[in-house]
Each structure stands twice: as C-alpha cells, then as structure tokens.
Amino acid sequence: MNITAGNIGKLAGDFETAKGRVTGVAGENPFGAMDTSDGISSALGSFTSGMQAELAAAARLMTATSEALRDAAKVTAETDEAARDSLTVHNPDDMRA
C-alpha cells in the first residue's frame, strides 16, 4: 500500500506540473494571424481557468488518496503487531488427533 501511495503522490505532482503548462495564449501564434475578438479571448481564458481548476482538484484528490492509503497501511501494520501478541498459532497436525 505504501508503494501505491507513493505512486499516487507522484501523480499529484504530475497534475500540478500539467496545470502550470496550461497557459492560454502566450507568445507567437503557431497558426498565424487570427481574429483577436473579445469572444475568442474570453473563451480561451475560460477554458484555461477551467482546466487549471480541474488539474488542481485532481492533484488534491491524489494527495488525499495517497494519505488515506498511507493511513490504512499504518493501521494494518498496527493491527498485525497487536494480533501477534494475542494470537496463538496451533500446529494443524496436533489438531487432527
């Protein structure tokens, strides 16, 4: 579970990196001259903001999932440790007699 939690934690970082790469209009347009009306600019700005918000939300979910898995692994280990002291293991051959 800890390995999976680590991998999911890395995904959170990947989402944050992707969020930073969604920048909208920056630099020279690779498609040449385009209409720069307010409608196009507004639509692109809305798309950029929406994508950044979605990627940020995904990063938060991955972080929470990673933390939940780490907590579950910790509880499982604690339970195993507690059971080790109070559990008696019998030899199956002794029980067949």
- For residue range 27-61, list pLDDT tens digits in order: 676 666 666 666 777 778 889 999 999 999 999 99
What is the Cα–Cα distance from 27 to 40, expressed in whole angstroms? 16
pLDDT in tens, 5-19: 999 999 999 999 999
pLDDT in tens, 66-86: 999 999 999 999 988 888 777
pLDDT at residue 14 in the model: 95
Whole-model pTM: value is 0.69
pLDDT at residue 36 in the model: 63
b/e 70-95 (16+ beta carbons within 10 angstroms → b) = beeeeeeeeeeeeeeeeeeeeeeeee
